[in-house]
Amino acid sequence: MPINRRHLLRLAGAATASAALTGALRAEGGSFSILPEYDGLFATSTPLHVRDVTLRVRDAELMTRFYSEILGLSVLETTSDKTLLGVDGITLVTLEHRPDAPVEPPSEAGLYHTAFLMPSRAELARWLVHTAMAQYQFSGFADHRVSEAVYLDDPEGNGIEVYADRAPELWSWNGDTVIMGTEAIDFDGLLALTDTENDTFAGAPTGMRIGHIHLRAGNIEDARAFYAAALGLDITSGRADAVFLSSGRYHHHVALNTWQSAGAGQRNPEATGLAGFNLLAADQSVLDAAKARLSTAGIELEEGAENLSVSDPWGTGLGIVLAV
């Protein structure tokens, strides 16, 4: 059966495009005319950007099947206690097998969602039809002005965004603040870019990467102090309950909110969810600058010649790795 607007809305549990915004608003907190197609990955061209995430999972087989069959990632390596998945031979997701791990509640600090960036709007459309034909449940759709996004959860409840950026020259800035929003997505424009009667998504396309990561935090003051003041990311947007940060004037590489987790303390290091994530440093000077800032801020770190690792205020592991 051809995939159409009604089919997509039904999979999101909504009757109208505006109703589908409910899930997207939960995911990001907030239709544009069809714009020229943008083929590019500005997100990964900046001095610092997200390289990969590690998730602690209970059912390794089920989770591997989801990330390979729904998101289209390739299994790159499997051992008795972990599975590495990625695209272009690059690891994007590592699954740590922990069958007895306690389940991390959404009221704790941790992962809000991992955002997988498609290299084009057409690839987003192909993936959208693929996932709809697989009858996998969506949680929301949104046009964020800088991007178009689809939301869902993996089988263990880890949030996922799959999105495509608009061309950076079309983004609006007010000084150092990027203008984002949450509006109804243009289903018709997306579906016009692909075959809606056949699944043409053969797997994660070349160039698909993690564009950003969104975290649950205990408070925004500590989030700003760590990710902006100490780590050196630039704040591109924010309010009392959320902050968005980036490197090199991307709309955001890291976001944190307290929508479910206000007041959360240290995370349980044995629980399911995000074990940690890595940022990629474009060159040695970027890595050295990060080391200097973190050290000056009194952040305890472990360092090597080509990497460093720290923990954020809630115990989430963060690594910075030199690009090779």
Residue, of 21 and 24, whose pLDDT is higher: 24
Q: How far is CA 61 from CA 4, 81, 105, in A?
A: 31, 11, 22
- Give the span between the Cα atoms of 197 and 11, in whole angstroms: 17
Which helix (H) or strand (E) segment holds residue 257: the answer is: strand 254-257
Query: Are 25 and 180 a contacting pair, CB within 8 Å?
Result: no
Q: Which residue has the tokens 């360092």?
A: 303
pLDDT for res 33: 41
Q: What are the backbone dihedrals phi and psi of residue 25, each rounded to the nearest 5 degrees, phi first?
A: -65, -35
Non-local (6+) Cβ contacts of 105 within 8 A are: none
User: What are 269-283's pLDDT values in tens digits?
Assistant: 999 999 999 999 999
Query: Is pLDDT at 247 greater than 90 in this prediction?
Result: yes
Helix (H, G, I), strand (E, B) or coil at 85: strand
- Two tokens at 195? 């075959």
Mean pLDDT of 198-220: 97
The CA distance from 217 to 111, in Å, is 9
Predicted pLDDT of residue 18: 54
- The model's confidence at residue 21, banded by pLDDT at 50, 70 and 90, is low
Q: State the pTM of this model.
A: 0.90
Report the relative pairing of strands 302-303 and 307-311 from DSSP bridges. antiparallel
CA distance 152 to 140: 7
Is pLDDT larger for residue 131 or for residue 14? Answer: 131
Say what the pLDDT of residue 32 is.
40
Sign (positive or negative) of CA dihedral 43, 44, 49, 51: positive
DSSP secondary structure letters along 126-180: HHHHHHHHTTPPP-EEEE-SSEEEEEEE-TT--EEEEEEEPPGGG--EETTEE--
How are beta strands 302-303 and 48-57 bridged, if at all? unpaired
* Segment (H or E) for 21: helix 17-28
**Mean pLDDT along residues 65-94:** 98
Q: pLDDT grade, residue 28 (50/70/90)?
A: low
Query: Are 108 and 121 within 8 A, CB to CB?
Result: no
Report residue 16's pLDDT band, with 50, 70 and 90 as the boundaries. low
50 pLDDT tier (thresholds 50, 70, 90): very high
- Is residue 241 a contact partner of residue 219, using CB atoms and an 8 Å limit? no
Region 229-234: mean pLDDT is 98
Q: Write out the two tokens for 95.
A: 């699954």
Residue 219 has pLDDT above 50, yes or no: yes
Rounded to the nearest 10°, the torsion over CA 312, 256, 203, 134 is 120
